[in-house]
Amino acid sequence: MIVVPLSIGLIALLLYFAFHSIGQALLILVNLPLALIGGIVALYVSGQYLSVPSSIGFITLFGVAVLNGVVMVEAINLRIE
């Protein structure tokens, strides 16, 4: 159960080092609660329980959500410059 919060913390740390801005890192991390809600709904609809494979799936889901946020923030930063 500690794997998911630990992975979110590591993602936040990497985002801070990449953008040198806590604000932009937090803006990207705003996507994670929505991804979490979608993942929980998907588990409920499919009748599955939270297990090791689904935890790995959540980590992957968080990675995709963060990657989409990084692409959007980078595009905004390029247009501002």
What is the pTM assigned to this prediction? 0.76
Contact 9, 59 (CB under 8 A): no
The count of other CB atoms within 10 Å of the CB of residue 58 is 21
Over 90: is that where the pLDDT of 59 sits?
no
Tokens coding 16: 């801070």
pLDDT attached to residue 44: 95
User: How confident is the model over 10-54, as pLDDT tens digits?
Assistant: 888 999 999 999 999 999 999 889 999 999 999 999 999 888 999
User: How confident is the model over 61-72, as pLDDT tens digits?
Assistant: 988 998 999 999
pLDDT attached to residue 9: 86
Tell me how far apart the alpha carbons of residues 49 and 59 are, in angstroms, rounded to a whole number: 16
Burial of 2 (0-12, 13-18, 19+ CB in 10 A): exposed
Tell me how far apart the alpha carbons of residues 70 and 52 are, in angstroms, rounded to a whole number: 27
